[in-house]
Structure formats: C-alpha cells, structure tokens
Structure 1
C-alpha cells in the first residue's frame, strides 16, 4: 500500500501544469502576433497613418531592432525581480502598446509604440523557456518548453493569416485592439495559474560573461546562428524561388510550410525528453535533404511542395530542441540570461540570412538560394554531431543537465 501511494504521488508530481504552460504559450503567441501583424496589413495601415507602405514595413523592423537591443541589458537589469512580476509587466506593456497602435493616426506615435513593444518582446523571450523549465521536473522540461514555444508556431501558421482576415472584415484597428484585450486577459490568467518564482539574489547572480562561458553554451548558440542563417536565406525569398520553380502560388507554398510546422512541433513534443540529440540530428538532416531536393528538382511542383513540407516539419520543432538544449546547458537559474544571448543571436541570424539571401538573389538568381542555405545547415548538423560531450549530450537525465 505505501508503495502504491508513493507511485501515485510520483505520477501527480510528474503531471504537467498544463494551464500555466498554456498561459505562457499564449503569451508567446501574443508577442509574435504583435511583431508580425503589420506585415500583413501594409495596404490598410498606410493610408490611415499617412505614409507609404514601405514606412509601415519599418514598424516590423523597428520592433525587431528594439527586441535585439533590449534582450541582454534588460534581462540583466531585471533578473533580481520576482519572475511573475516581470512577466506581468511585459503583458501590460503589450496591452498598452497595442492599444496605442489601435487608436493612433500618427506615424511617429505608432512607431514609438512599436519600439516599446519590441522592448517588451525582447524581455519576454528571454524568460519564457526558463519559466517553463522551473515549473516542471527536469525529465519533463523538454515537453514543457515545447508547449510554450508552440505558441510561436501557431501564431506564424494560423494567427497572422487569421489576423489579416479579421482586418479585412472589420478593419486593422480592431485587430490590434483585440491583441491588447488578449494581453489583459493573459494578465488575469497568469496571476491565477502561473506560479511565482523569486528573482536572483544579488550575491548569487552569475556574471554575464560566466554564463556565456558555461560548457556547451557556445555550441548551442552556434547551432542557433547557423540554422537561422540558412533558414532565412530560403524563407525570406520563398516567393521569388517559387516563381523560379514555376509555382506561382506562393500562398500555397507558405500554407504547406505552416501546416507542416504544426506537425513538427507536435512530433518534437513527444520525443524531446527522451531523444533530444537524436531528434535534433534528424531534424537538421531533414532540412538539409529538403534543401538538396529544392536545389536539384525545384522545377517539379510535386517535389517542391513535398520538400517544403519536410522543411517546415523539421524546422517547426528545431527551435524547441535548441532552446531545451540551451536550458540544459545553463540550468533554469541562468536560463533567462542564456536565452537573452540566444534571442540576440536568433535575431542576428534572421537579419544575416535575409541580407545574404538578398545578395545571392541579386547576384546569382533564385536557383542559388538552396545551395547557399545548405552548407549553413550542414555546419549546424556537424556542430550537433560533434557536441556529444558539450551542448548536445547523448542522454538527458537529471545527472546530465543542470537542475
């Protein structure tokens, strides 16, 4: 009887705090929607703000730059505060910034609100994975992070297209007002279902340089950079590549990619805790195989769509795998600082990949894009394959990772 009670208690302790994790996932969804929604609303926002569409596009650029610049310094500044208080503050900030965007007819005011929203985003991204890791036992860490980061995938594959449809039906201002309302509802949800954790005492805080020097962290950050560089070379210019391949329906290609990412994040959630390294190796190899097929046979529509589906499925789960490896290397106590480094590297990969792809497109044409991306993804695969001892251990157990 005591043994049965002990087993029952262990099962209860191992159960995922699903409501709290879904609240964090919805926070990630809200941040991505706030960042990217203007990209789908350029023709509608431009007349209301009295600027050309290109200037509305800068609202996305400004958000990304503010997020890039704020992640590390703000995370370091706020790491002593209670974690839930910081999270609630970012949600209130998102609500205010989206409300201002919904009401403003002034481009400078809207741009300022977007910069402030980017600061909120940089702060939030640095803490979500670490927060999820603290909420569960180490053996459930990967699945918890997968649930939280699924909010990103859902925003990209479903949220932004749905937001654009809503804006077509009722206007772009109600779309941003809805995001503001969602952020306020999240404040209530987080207060009710997400546990509070203390900040780091001043004497116990590991300096930024020592966090960056933790074993395995450099390998994980390198894989992040290489993968994002390779991915963005292709993804940013998928429209001209589809035209080059003779498939004029870019929307169909993006829909296939988006649906596949949902399947990828679900698959990774089932495998990550037991087989993180193996699953990441398979994901990177699958992306490489898809790029090879795109380079060789893109002129065949069936091959193009199948390759894009494989690319989307593999990439959909890859960020979760890399993020979990990062938290394993840093430990939950230093995860916020480590993730702020990764946020900066992630944005650098997006910017660098987009720039590289643009140069290749202008110089060699769309057909050269897969051959530019493939060596970068192959390099990421090599780092993981060689990182058995640091960054990407073969086994993940409480003894193998920081707890």
Structure 2
C-alpha cells in the first residue's frame, strides 16, 4: 500500500519570529499602562488646572479603571469575529482621541468621561493583545512572543510614568496627555505596516461566556490572578506610605525604578523558559514573591535588604502577566480572547481591592504591615497554582 512521506524538515515552511510586530504591540501596552498611571504623577497639576481638590483629581485614575472593568468582557464578546489588525488600530485610535480630549478638557467632568472611554479601550486591547501576539508566532514560540509583547508594561511603570510626570511639571500636564496622543499616532503607523493581520474567531467555535468560565482550568487561573495581583497591589499602591513609615530614606520614584528594571529582567527570564516550563516558572515567581515579602518583614530597618527585596519583587512580578495569560490561552484554546477579557477584569478588580484593603491597613495598623498581607495572599496563590496541575498549570508545562 502506497504511503505519503512527510516533507523533510528543511522543506517545511517556517514561520519567522515577528519581532517588529511584537515591538509594536509592546508599544501599544506602553500606551495603555502609561495612560492609566499618568494622573498619579500629576495630581497637584491636575487639581490646579481643573480647579478641584487632589482627591477629586485622583478620580481620573478610578474612572479609567472602572471603564476597563465594565468594558473588557462586553468589548471582547462583541468583537471576537473581527479581524485582529483593524481592531488593534481602532483601539489605538480610541487612545489617541481620549488622551487628546483629556489634554484640552475644560472641566473635571469632561476629563472623567475621556478617562472612562480610555479605560474602555484598555479593556478591548488587553483582551485581544495576548491572543493576537501568540497567534502571529509559531506555536512553539507563542510564550516568547507574548513575553516580548508584554515588555511595554514594566517600561511604562519604571520609565514612562516618571517621564510623563517630569514633562507635566515642566511644560504643563496637558502636554503630557497630548504627547500620549502623538505617541498613539506613531504606533498606529508602525502597526499598520509591521503587524500582520490575523482572523477573528469563527462563529462555530465561539462558546458563550458561561461555558468559557466553565472550561477546565479557567476559574482556577482567574483565582490566581486575583489573589496574586491583590498581593502585588497591596504594597505597590502604598509604596510611598510604606517607605515613609519605615523611615528607610528611600525615594519612591527611585524604588520604583529599581522595581521596573528588575521586572524587565523577570520578563526576559519568562521569555526564555515559558514555552517549556510554564508551571515551574509560575510557581517559582510566586515563591520569589513570598521571599520578597518575608525579606521586607525581617529587615524593615535596612535600606540594603529592602532594595534586595524590591529586586526580588520586580523579578517575580515582571513575567507574571505573561505567565498567567499564557496559561489562560492554553486552557481556553480558541476562546482565549474571551477568557483573557475575564483575566483583565479580575486583574483590575485586584487593583481596586488593593487600594481599598491597603487603605484600611495603612490607616489602621500602619503601612509596615503590608508585606505580611503580601505574603499571605501570595501563599494562597501558590497553593492554587499547585492545585491546578491538571488543567490550569499542568505538570510538564
């Protein structure tokens, strides 16, 4: 009986690794995160410019987060069948307009609306970027592709936000938001020419959201996302209060710079190992998180040990989003975009909870107790990852 021989390895088509496209996606993530965090470094200028209190100006951050939480799942549900490249360009256009309106906003009300819209487009982009980045690379390099696409986050946190705050204090806060609009234009042009298109999800493979949530492993990953990111945001949100109350003499901006540089190293490690050791890498990151918290508890009067703890914290956090989104993409399969929209919602709910719970701790027992909460929550995440060895974080991955 005649058989068909497989083509030799050298004759098979190899999908080139799309570095330029992934860099454009990383720039998109940079815009999303920097737009989210920019008001935090400009509160006095925003309050003066809009003639409101700093507390009222701080609601510009809340409006963005609310937009993300409310829009992520509906936006991805409604756009699952749309081709990815036009959707990416639409999301960037949304940021261009929202930041431009914020830059010229004559009142707090208009600025809040613009920030809510920006948050809604954030939910759209975060819901589709992970799947898009994995889709344009060969399957065996999907995790590394996602790691590169996620580098915009730590760069925005460590460099972008301080730079935006400096620009705002030098030439005015409106120019900071105008600069974000101009950056959106540049990234749109790059994406237009560098990012390959990918099809949306076919109608026959689109599972209803309740069925996506019921896919084996999805709920477990969402639980890990919430408790792990709550552990992170509990301290990250109140890092200035922590440094002040522990009398360490460390400036928050320099501390966050150290954190951001370490986070970049964490993403590099993740990119190297994620395609062959996802479970081990995730567990190692959570363990490192616990070690950082323990070091902060044990050495609250030592600047040197605190900096070591911040480096461990950054290393652990840097690849966390990539690890969790990769796990979600593999668990949910063709419904990965819808599942990642749920992940985005869980992530932002953890940001909300971190601010609320952290405020209670800081005003109650004091900021020095925050690392204890960080350890407890990270331990819960570690146990949940361990229990998810069958579907969420399978052994051998």
TM-score by length of 2: 0.94
1:306 partnered with 2:308: yes
Deviations 1:206-253 (A, max 9, x none): 111111111111111111011011111222222222223221323232
Once the two structures are TM-superposed, the CA of residue 363 in structure 1 deviates from its matched residue by 2.2
Residues 261 and 312 in structure 1, CA contact (< 8 A), matched pair in contact too: yes
Name 2:340's counterpart in structure 1: 339
Calculate the aligned-residue CA RMSD, in Å: 1.8
Residues 238 and 250 in structure 1, CA contact (< 8 A), matched pair in contact too: no
Deviations 1:176-203 (A, max 9, x none): 1121112122222222122222223334
Deviations 1:241-293 (A, max 9, x none): 22232213232322221221111111211111121111111111111011111
1:231 partnered with 2:224: no
Aligned counterparts of 1:124 and 1:312: Cα–Cα separation in 2: 24
Name 1:105's counterpart in structure 2: 106
Residues 14 and 140 in structure 1, CA contact (< 8 A), matched pair in contact too: no
> Structure 2 matches for 1:3-402, cutoff 5 A?
7-8=9-10, 13-251=14-252, 252-331=254-333, 333-396=334-397
The runs of 5 or more residues in structure 1 that have no matched partner are 397-403
Which secondary structure state, in structure 2, belongs to the residue aligned with residue 105 of structure 1?
coil
Aligned counterparts of 1:24 and 1:124: Cα–Cα separation in 2: 10
TM-score by length of 1: 0.93
Aligned counterparts of 1:149 and 1:14: Cα–Cα separation in 2: 21
Which secondary structure state, in structure 2, belongs to the residue aligned with residue 273 of structure 1?
coil
The runs of 5 or more residues in structure 2 that have no matched partner are 1-6
Aligned counterparts of 2:133 and 2:9: Cα–Cα separation in 1: 24
Aligned counterparts of 1:366 and 1:166: Cα–Cα separation in 2: 30
Which secondary structure state, in structure 1, belongs to the residue aligned with residue 198 of structure 2?
coil
Deviations 1:60-116 (A, max 9, x none): 110100111111112111212222222211111111111111222222221111111
Residues 249 and 303 in structure 2, CA contact (< 8 A), matched pair in contact too: no
Aligned counterparts of 1:177 and 1:7: Cα–Cα separation in 2: 51
Aligned counterparts of 1:41 and 1:104: Cα–Cα separation in 2: 15
Aligned counterparts of 2:343 and 2:94: Cα–Cα separation in 1: 22
Once the two structures are TM-superposed, the CA of residue 389 in structure 1 deviates from its matched residue by 1.2
Aligned counterparts of 1:56 and 1:359: Cα–Cα separation in 2: 21
Which secondary structure state, in structure 1, belongs to the residue aligned with residue 394 of structure 2?
coil
The 1:270–1:201 alpha-carbon spacing in structure 2 relative to 1, beyond 3 Å, is closer
